[in-house]
Amino acid sequence: MPEGHAIHNQARRLRTRFKSRPVRVDSPQGRFAADAKRIDGRVLEKVEAQGKHLFLGFGDLWVHVHLGLFGKWRIAKGPAPEPRGQIRLRLQDDEGYAELRGPTVCELLDDEAKKAAVGRIGPDPIRKSDPTPAWNRVERSKAPIGALLMDQSVFAGVGNIYRAEVLFRQNISPFRPGKQVSRNEFDAIWDDLVVLMTQGTKKGRIDTVRAEHLPEIMGRRPRQDRHGGEVYVYRRAGQPCHLCGDEVLMEEMGARKLYWCPTCQPG
Residue numbers annotated as active site: 2-3, 52, 256
Taking every pair of C-alpha atoms in the chain, what is the biggest distance, in angstroms? 58
Task: Select 120 or 128, whichever has its Cβ closest to DNA.
Answer: 120
Q: Applying CB under 7 A, which of residues 30, 79, 254, 267 lies at the interface with DNA?
A: 254
Is residue 224 a contact point for DNA (CB under 7 A)? no
Is residue 30 a contact point for DNA (CB under 7 A)? no
Restricted to residues 72-131, the positions that interact with DNA (CB under 7 A) are: 72, 85-86, 88, 101-102, 104
Is residue 189 a contact point for DNA (CB under 7 A)? no
Q: Applying CB under 7 A, which of residues 11, 25, 32, 52 lies at the interface with DNA?
A: 52
Task: Select 69 or 214, whichever has its Cβ closest to DNA.
Answer: 69
| Minimal distance, residue 228 CB to DNA, in Å | 6
Query: Which is nearest to 162 in space by CA: 256, 66, 262?
Result: 256
Q: Applying CB under 7 A, which of residues 145, 172, 206, 209 lies at the interface with DNA?
A: 206
The mark string for 165-184 relative to DNA (x by CB under 7 A, - otherwise) is: --------------------
Answer yes or no: are the C-beta atoms of 105 and 120 closer than 8 Å: no
Residue ranges in contact with DNA by CB under 7 A: 1-3, 6, 29, 51-52, 66-72, 85-86, 88, 101-102, 104, 150, 152, 159-161, 206, 226-228, 235, 254-257
